[in-house]
Structure 1
Amino acid sequence: MVNTLSEQNLAKTLEQAIVEAIAEAREACDLNGSNSSACAVAWDIVEELQAEKSHRLHSTKTRTYLENYCQEHPEADECRIYDL
């Protein structure tokens, strides 16, 4: 459960970073023009943050009951792993 809470906090932090980056990109474009390199770089940052958010959403794997049990009880017989 602690893992889920830290993942939620990270998602909120990432979402906040995206909102701030969008605001900065709009400001950079307003100050420097929509064809300026500063504007392009600012929107590239937004795009990278959004890609990271998408990657995190798609890479989260739900764990099975056995995986959860083994994390809490690694010494249990059911959780032993044998090298052959």
Structure 2
Amino acid sequence: MSNIQEQIDQERENARAVCSTEGANSAECAAAWDAVEEVQAEAAHQRQKHPQQTYFQQYCDANPDADECRMYDD
């Protein structure tokens, strides 16, 4: 995931550079920020695909017989 964060940071720097040279209202500036948004959307998509487990969930996966992790039927 850090790789995609680095890519987001790189695209942001590029967008700022383009906007400072071409102007904030230029088509190039808009396109550069669109590229940032696309990478951010991909990062969000990857997070949804692989949600992170909480520490408690990790603990229960490693220790399914622990009292805290037992599931009871009603």
Question: TM range, normalised to the smaller chain?
Answer: 0.5 to 0.7
Give, in angstroms, the shift of residue 61 of structure 1.
Answer: 5.6
Matched, 1:23 2:22: no
User: What are the equivalent positions in structure 2 for 1:3-82 lying under 5 Å apart?
Assistant: 11-60=1-50
For 1:18 and 1:61, locate their aligned partners in 2 and report how far apart those are by CA, in whole Å. Answer: 20
The normalised TM-score by structure 2 is 0.66
Supply the RMSD in Å over aligned alpha carbons.
1.3
Structure 1 residues not aligned, in runs of 5+: 1-10, 63-84
Q: Runs (4+) of structure 1 moved beyond 4 Å?
A: none
Higher relative contact order (CA 8 A, sep 6+): 2
